[in-house]
Amino acid sequence: MPATALRRNRRPGKHQNLSAAPDPKTPTTPTTKYKVTGIRVLRSEWSKFWTLRSTLITLGVAVFLLVLFGAIASYTYSPDAVATSGPPGPGSSSGDSNAVSLAVTGVSFAQLAIGVLGVLLAAGEYSTGMIRSTLAAVPRRLPVLWSKAAVIGPIALVLTTLGALAAFQLGTPGLDGEKIALSLGDDGVLRSLAGAGLYLGLVAVFGVALGVLLRNSAGAIAALVGVLLILPGLASLLPDSWYDTLSPYFPSNAGSAVYALHQSSDALSPGAGLAVFAGWVALTLAGAAYRLVKTDV
């Protein structure tokens, strides 16, 4: 056959596709687009929470202090010493102690550890610069704040509630034969111990809110200590009429009413104390949310 005929036969037909057909055996890589959802942000914050070196240490310290001081207070209890002591501590309604007020003696120390953990979870990202990557992955920003609070709050609540129960149970033998001895089945005991865990869970969320609001670990920790421990002492400098009116509404005083076995005449009821302290936490969260959305990193 002449060469011109061969070239003519090799020419594509009128309706023949000039593009090469893809080989069906060639693997193709599909492009998967992941949508940012609340569940995925929550999982991310959960992973970051447990990868912090301070998490296990701080949680362990909080529970240890809660159990240790509660047990020591029960085993060293003396009716004569209580009768000559000063004003009642958190969890008691008068100068007379009770088994629950002794068991929750460690709350004052545990709240610092739990609050600091909340601060580190939030403000720690600003000190390391990781917050830029976090907000680049979650442009809407607010889910980051809600997820941090949703992660640490329930964890602190569960662990510290178990710690309060352990402190009460360990201290029960030390109060054997005393008039203030109680059992878990007595009226209000379980509610008070659960209230201690609920208060500490809110303290953890309060720490997260302060961390995002102030964006500095040292400053947020100082603010946490000032609000929970120093403010009630400074308020005692106010005139008595002012102090008696305002004192029950301070964050730590309202929080202590949540886990008090009996309501004091100068304190809020457990329900009112919970509402007031939760209001303080919600107000701080609102300020943190506003700054997170309206200001740059």
Which DSSP string do the residues of 25-64 spell out, in sequence order?
TS-----------HHHHHHHHHHHHHH-HHHHHHHHHHHH
* In the chain, domain spans: 36-294
Query: For the chain, what percent of residues have pLDDT higher than 70?
Result: 82
* Dihedral pair phi/psi, residue 104, rounded to 5°: -100, 20
* Dihedral pair phi/psi, residue 99, rounded to 5°: -60, -35
What the block records as the tokens of 29 is: 């890589």
Percentages of the chain per state (helix, strand, coil), in multiples of 5? 70, 0, 30
**pLDDT for 108 beyond 70:** yes
- For the segment 8-34, the average pLDDT, to the nearest whole number, is 51
**pLDDT for 23 beyond 70:** no
Higher-pLDDT residue of 229 and 25 is: 229
Closest CA to 151 of 277, 52, 258, 223: 52
- pLDDT at position 90 is 45
- For the segment 238-266, the average pLDDT, to the nearest whole number, is 91
What the block records as the tokens of 141 is: 């920003």
Express each pLDDT in 214-248 by its tens digit.
Answer: 999 999 999 999 999 999 888 888 888 888 899 99
What the block records as the tokens of 272 is: 């009112």
Express each pLDDT in 120-144 by its tens digit.
Answer: 999 989 988 899 999 899 989 999 9
Whole-model pTM: value is: 0.83
- pLDDT at position 191 is 95
What does the alpha-carbon distance between residue 232 and residue 266 come to, in Å, rounded to a whole number? 14
Contact 158, 55 (CB under 8 A): no
List of residues 6+ apart from 25 with CB closer than 8 A: none
Residue length of the chain: 297
Which own/partner contact pairs does 234-239 have at CB distance under 8 Å and 24+ positions apart?
none
- Average pLDDT across the chain, whole number: 85
Judged on CB neighbours under 10 Å (0-12, 13-18, 19+), 6 is exposed
How would residue 64 be classed by pLDDT, with cut points 50, 70 and 90?
Answer: very high
- pLDDT at position 52 is 83
Judged on CB neighbours under 10 Å (0-12, 13-18, 19+), 96 is middle
- pLDDT at position 233 is 86
- For the segment 9-15, the average pLDDT, to the nearest whole number, is 50
